[in-house]
Chains A and B, each alone.
Chain A
Amino acid sequence: MNRAGLTPCLLSWVVSTLLILIKGDILDRLVSGYMDIDVIIIFIVYLLSYRSETGAGIFAFGQGLLTDIFAGGIWGFHTMLYLMVFLFIRLLSRSFDLLSTFGQVALISMTVLVKGLLMVPLEHLFSLDITVTSSDILLFILSALCSGVIASPVFYLLDSLGRFKNGAKEEL
C-alpha cells in the first residue's frame, strides 16, 4: 500500500474505534438496539474496494475484537460476526460494481441487513433467548438503508483525503 492509501486506512481505524467507544451511549438513547448504522461494514467495503483485501480482513477482525473487548457477554461473538460479514462481502462483491454509487449502496445495505438477520441464529446458538418482532425486521431494513445512504459520502471523503495527501506529496 502506498503512503497516500495509508491515511484513509488510518482514518478508518481511528474513526471506527472512536465510534465503538461511544456507540454504547448512542444506542442507549435509541429505542431499540437493532437500529444500528454499521460504520464498521462501511469501512470494510471501502477498504476492500479501494485498498487491499488483507487490510479489509484485518480491519474486520480487529474491530470485531475491539467490540468484544468493550461488550459484555460471549467472548468472540463480534469477532466471528464481523469475519462472517467480511466473507459475505468478499463473496458478494463480485456481483457488484464497487466503484459505482449504486454498487456501494446496494452491497452495504444488503450486508447490514444480512448481519442483522445473521445475529438472530447466532444469538440462539449462544443460548440467548431473543425474540424478533416485525418492528425489529423493519428496524433491520431501516438500518440497512441508512448505512447504504451514508456510505457514498464516507467513501468520497476518504478517497478525497487520500488524493489530497497524494497531490500534496507530488507538489513537494
Chain B
Amino acid sequence: MLLIFILLFFMSSNQERSGRWNPLEQVVVEITAPFQKVISNTIDATGNIWSKYFHLINTRKENIRLKEEILFLKVENFRHQELIAAYQRLQKVLQSTGKIDQKLVAARVIGKDPSGLFKSIIINKGKSSGLSVNMAVVNEGGVVGKIVSVSKNYSKVLLLIYQNSAVDCLIERSRDFGIVKGLSRDEAVMIMDYVLKSTDIIVGDTLVTSGIGGVFPKGIPVGTITEIKDPTEELFMEVKVAPSVDFSKLEEVLVILMEDPLADR
C-alpha cells in the first residue's frame, strides 16, 4: 500500500507532465472509457427521452390551447363580421334618414307574426327606451310600419304590408297624392288607392311619405310604381307599388321618437 501511495505521489507531483496520459493512465482510460461512453449515452438518451416526453406533453397541451384559441378567434371573427355588417346597415339607415329631425332609436327584430296572416314584428326596445304606440318605424329602405303595442322592453310593429295599414304618400316627381296600402298575402306588392285619372304618374315613379297624418315624417321612401291600369268604368286608377323595404329581410330598424300624433283623437 505504501509503495502504491509513493508511486501515486510521484506521478501526481511530476512537474514535467503537460496533460498527457502516461501508459498506465492510458490503460485505465482504455478500459473504463467504453463503460463511461455507454453510461453517458444512456444518461443522454434517458435525458432526451424525458425531455422529449415532457416536450410532447407540452406540445399537446399547447396544441389544444392553440386549437381552442383558433376556435375562439374564429367565433370572434364571425361576431365581428356580423357587427360590421350590422354597422354598415345602420350607417345606411342613418344616411337615408338624415332628413329626419326627431331622435331615433335603433332596435333589433326578435320575432315575427306567428299567425302568418297579420304582418307584424317584435322588436327589442320598449317603454324603457322611450318608445310608445303609433311611433313610426323605418329602416335604410324607407317606411317599415308603426308601433301598435309596447311593453317595458319590447314592442310590436304592424308592418306597412298588412292590408289594414295605410300611409298617405306623394309622388316624388309630380307631387300628386295617394294612399298606399298593403296586401298581406304578397310582401312584394302594395297598392296605391285614390289615384285620380288626371294624376301625373308613370311606372318607375318613387313614392314618399307626405307627412299628412303625423305618424310618418315627410319625405321617407315608401315604394316604386310598378304597374298602372286605367279601367274605363272606374273613377280611380289601379296602381301597384313595390315596397322600398325588403320585408323578408328585416333585421334592424329605427324608431322615430315623437309624441303620439293620434293620442288626442
Residues of A at the B interface (CB closer than 8 Å) are 20-25, 27-28, 33-34, 36, 67, 70-74, 77-78, 119, 123, 127-131
Contact = CB atoms under 8 A, between A and B. Distances in A.
A70 B113 contact: yes
A72 B118 contact: yes
A127 B156 CA distance: 21
A122 B38 CA distance: 98
A28 B112 contact: yes
B107 interface: no
Contacts of A70: 111, 113-114, 122, 156
Interface stretch (B12-20, B158-166, B169-177, B206-214): B158-166
A33 B111 CA distance: 16
Interface string B139-164: 00000000010000000111100111
A73 B114 contact: no
B165 to A, nearest CB: 9
Given A28-B248, A128-B164, A129-B163, A73 B115 contact: yes
Nearest to A74: B118
Contacts of B132: none
Interface in B192-246: none
B119 interface: yes
A93 B18 CA distance: 117
Contacts of A74: 118
Contact of A127 (B111, B159, B164): B164
Given A128-B164, A128-B184, A73 B117 contact: yes
B176 to A, nearest CB: 25
B238 to A, nearest CB: 14
Given A71-B117, A72-B118, A130-B185, 18 more contacts: A22-B111, A24-B112, A27-B114, A27-B116, A33-B116, A33-B117, A33-B185, A70-B111, A70-B114, A71-B115, A72-B159, A73-B113, A73-B115, A73-B117, A73-B118, A73-B162, A74-B118, A131-B185
A122 to B, nearest CB: 10
A115 to B, nearest CB: 12
User: Which bracket fits the contact residues of B?
Assistant: 20 to 34
B97 interface: no
Nearest to A28: B112
Given A71-B120, A73-B158, A128 B115 contact: no
Interface in B27-78: none
A158 B164 CA distance: 41
A67 B121 CA distance: 13
Contacts of B248: 28
Output the residue of A25, A70, A129 with the most chain B CB within 10 A. Answer: A70
Nearest to A25: B112
A16 to B, nearest CB: 11
B72 to A, nearest CB: 28
Contacts of B122: 70
A67 B114 contact: yes
A78 B119 CA distance: 14
Contacts of B159: 72
Contacts of B148: 72
Nearest to A78: B115
A129 B186 CA distance: 12
A75 B122 CA distance: 16
Given A28-B248, A72-B156, A129-B163, A123 B111 contact: no
A73 B161 CA distance: 12
Nearest to A35: B116
A71 B163 contact: no
A73 B111 contact: no
10 contacts: A23-B114, A27-B112, A33-B115, A72-B159, A77-B118, A78-B115, A119-B117, A128-B117, A128-B184, A131-B185
Nearest to B122: A70
Contact of B113 (A34, A71, A127, A129): A71
Contacts of B156: 70, 72
